[in-house]
Amino acid sequence: MQAMDIEKVNSMDFGEFVDVFGNVIERCPLIAAAVWSQRPFSNLEDLEKHFFDFIDALPQSGREGILRCHPDLAGRELQQGTLSAESRREQSGAGLTSLDADERLRLAELNAQYRARFGFPFVLAARRSHRAAVPRELARRLRCPPAQELRTALAEVKKIGHLRLADLLGAPPARL
Ligand SMILES: NC(=O)N[C@H]1NC(=O)NC1=O
């Protein structure tokens, strides 16, 4: 899609806005729907802040729900071709679409352990990582206390959202 400026964003009707921004937070178009009501936005940072403030205002069950909307990295949805376009691009960019069978199995085991321990999937901004680093980071985060891990995972959701928004607005992403 053609990058757009903030005036264009502010002129969007509800349907268009949700079509364009509905997956800034993976499979959570409700957040874009809520953010639309807060227009006009002064710039990309302002728009982004509304997405993030919505997440921060949720109770813990809602924040965990957002994490649960994320597909596993190199998981079943990738194999089945049912990832969102954004997620597929991110996972492919990190090399997760070309793992060999052993790497896939190792990641599947770690993903399962993580989900069993915390009750939500392991979330990491794949565009800021690569195939060799993902299992290392997963193994490291598996040992973190749950409250800390919830914070870390939501910070990753925001990194993913930041990169998706920067793409849509044709802005250089901040150093995350
Ligand atoms: N599980 C997980 O982190 N998934 C997300 N990460 C990312 O960069 N894109 C996703 O869909």
Domain containing residue 94: CATH number: 1.10.3330.10
Out of 46, 64, 82, pick the residue that ends a domain. 64
Contact assessment for residue 23 and residue 29, using Cβ atoms and an 8 Å cutoff: yes
Confidence of residue 1 (pLDDT cuts 50, 70, 90): low
* Same domain as 156, residue 82: yes
pTM of the entire structure? 0.96
Enter the ipTM.
0.99
**Structural domain containing residue 32:** 6-64
Total domains, the chain: 2
DSSP assignment of 39-83: ---SSHHHHHHHHHHHHHHS-HHHHHHHHHTSPPTTSHHHHHT-S
- Any catalytic annotation for residue 70? yes
**Of 50, 70, 130, 162, which is the active-site residue?**
70
Q: Pocket of ligand 1, candidates 64, 91, 122, 167: which has the most ligand atoms within 8 Å of its Cβ, to mutate?
A: 91
Q: Which amino acid is at 153?
A: A
Q: CB of 71 closer than 6 A to ligand 1?
A: yes
Looking at residue 84, its pLDDT comes to 98
